[in-house]
Amino acid sequence: MGTIDIIIFVAYCALILCVGLFVSRGKKEGERDAGDYFLAGRGLAWWAIGASIIASNISAEQFVGMSGSGYAIGLAMATYEWIAALGLILVAKFFIPIFLEKKIFTMPQFLEERFDKRVKTVMAVFWLAVFIFINLTSILYLGALTIEKVVGIPMLYGIVGLAVFAGLYSIYGGLKAVALTDVIQVVFLVAGGLVTTYIALDRLGEGSGVLQGMTNLYAEASDKFHLILDKSHPGYMDLPGMSVIFGGLWVANLYYWGCNQYIIQRALAAKSVREAQNGMLFAGFIKLFIPLLVVIPGIAAFALDAPLTKPDEAYPWLLSELLPVGIKGVAFAALTAAIVSSLASMMNSISTIFTMDIYRSFFRKEAGQRELVRTGRWASFVSLVIAMAIAPMLSGLDQAFQYIQEFTGFVSPGALAIFLAGFFYKRATANGALAAAVGSFLFSFGLKFLCPELPWMDRMGIVFLMCCALIVVMGKKGLPDSGYTRHDPALFRTGKVFNLLSLVILLILIGFYYIWW
């Protein structure tokens, strides 16, 4: 990186820190309560919700991990992003009204109100383990890997630097600081990602422009432009044919966008149901363009014969080898924005679950507002230290994105089954929910070792059905829990604009799959 790149990057860092710390000064310390810290005072507008969802979701695991998988597998990786656009619409329409009607802080809190304290505690512990040991750790590792490849900073220093940067404003400021800085982060990550894609395609155009570059890319890597893979494809175990449209991917999709504290916390902090739904719709539109930023660059690296030792080096190679001075600083700031925003969001979600569902329930039921905020900050700090210690151990992974998806899939089938039963199945019981939570792990481990030839995405779909069956069987044996609420159909009505724009997204996706089937 040249001097101008470093200046651009430092200016970006200063901007984020200044905005984050300024926003954090919204109230005097003595007046700040848990609602302010964990849910931004329930005052987020749709644009902040949508931008924060995207900034939280797009991280090193997308820029680095999905580019790596794009290099190895191809455009089929875009399925994660495009199906997510539909998932966001379904969550906005059917999940969000229920959550906001309950005025909850966390997903485990909903489970306690619907079932009992045991279900809340089991799922809170599961989520904390996944967030700290898989998500937070992998974000740090992939971010540090990129910094090492692009700038030459040793991985350990990169891990520490990213953690300190994210922690400086998010630990103090809470969700409001995270969400409002995410609006800036989204601008950086989209602009920087587009610049990287543009230059890669321009190089492939050999002086004839980006459109010619795209034509050459399609000609040189035509095997990479298929959204549905057949069994003969080397990537079939990760993206098994029609399962990406009608099967197990929907389990991961609805769980991630609708039951995951890390994402849903922004919607819980909305001014109203309408603001939350519009924010998720906004995020859905952005999702349509994300493959252009994170998958196409990986395919371009393949077409350019990038000398890589493993696929996850594709995006770092593009940054270090293709981008000129000045542009490299913008792209590097974009990547850092994606990493830091995800780290900040993950820490905030960890601190919310630990404070509200573990600390307040088991250690200090009478804890005051200042104590809850202080505990949340300590929970963020400790989780960050743990992730920093574990992150270097992931260096042996070939495609980190697939690692994250597969092992999160041990939790998601049972969690989604529990939530859907909690919403819509009157006879669902706490014992059935507990059985599904434990069964999700046991069934997943069992199928992984007994049926190693079964793609993990198909395994998720099977485990989800098994967990649903458990809940139904146990529901027939016991009395329904008193926490069930029969929902008025009017609760799920959405406006004409929402419905029209949702249809637009659906038609665009049908077009994509028709072209690249």
- The CATH number of whichever domain residue 122 belongs to comes to 1.20.1730.10
User: What is the C-alpha to C-alpha distance for residues 101 and 317, in angstroms, rounded to an integer?
Assistant: 48
- Listed in sequence order, the residues at least 6 apart from 300 whose beta carbon sits closer than 8 Å to its beta carbon are 197, 200, 201, 203, 204, 217, 318
Q: Which domain holds residue 206?
A: 56-397
> Looking at residue 27, what is its pLDDT?
55
Is 40 within a domain? no
Greatest C-alpha distance within the chain:
72
Element housing 390 (H / E): helix 369-390
- The model's pLDDT over 72-112, given as tens digits with 9 standing for 90+, comes to 888 888 888 999 999 999 999 999 998 888 888 888 888 88
DSSP secondary structure letters along 227-241: SS--TTSTTTTTS-T
Q: Where are the alpha helices (DSSP H) in 259-368?
A: 261-268, 273-287, 290-294, 296-303, 314-321, 327-353
Residue 226, Ramachandran bin (φ over 0: left; ψ between -120 and 50: alpha; else beta):
beta
User: What is the C-alpha to C-alpha distance for residues 344 and 349, in angstroms, rounded to an integer?
Assistant: 9
User: What is the C-alpha to C-alpha distance for residues 199 and 213, in angstroms, rounded to an integer?
Assistant: 10
Pick the closest to residue 170 from 185, 156, 159 (CA basis): 185
Q: Do residues 431 and 216 lie in contact, with contact meaning Cβ atoms separated by under 8 Å?
A: no
> Looking at residue 483, what is its pLDDT?
66
Is 356 within a domain? yes
Is 445 within a domain? no
* Tokens 């009505």, located at residue: 493
| Backbone angles phi and psi of 245, in degrees to 5 | -105, -40
Going 33 to 37 to 38 to 41, the CA torsion angle's sign is positive
Is 411 within a domain? no
DSSP secondary structure letters along 70-98: HHHT-GGGGHHHHHHHHHHHHIIIIIHHH
What residues form DSSP beta bridges with 57?
none
Q: What angle do CA 387, 105, 45 make, to 5 degrees?
A: 95
Pick the closest to residue 516 from 303, 223, 233 (CA basis): 223
Q: Coil, helix or strand for 361?
A: helix
Is 412 within a domain? no
Q: Do residues 332 and 353 lie in contact, with contact meaning Cβ atoms separated by under 8 Å?
A: no
Q: Do residues 75 and 300 lie in contact, with contact meaning Cβ atoms separated by under 8 Å?
A: no
Is 110 within a domain? yes
User: 238-247 b/e with 16+ CB inside 10 Å = b?
Assistant: bbbbebbbeb
Give every residue of the chain whose pLDDT is below 70, as ranges.
24-35, 37, 39-40, 60-61, 396-406, 478-484
Is 488 within a domain? no
Quote the number of domains for the chain: 1
The tokens for 117 are: 């304290």
* Tokens 């409002």, located at residue: 180
Burial class (CB in 10 A: 0-12, 13-18, 19+), 30: exposed
Is 332 within a domain? yes
User: What is the C-alpha to C-alpha distance for residues 348 and 379, in angstroms, rounded to an integer?
Assistant: 9
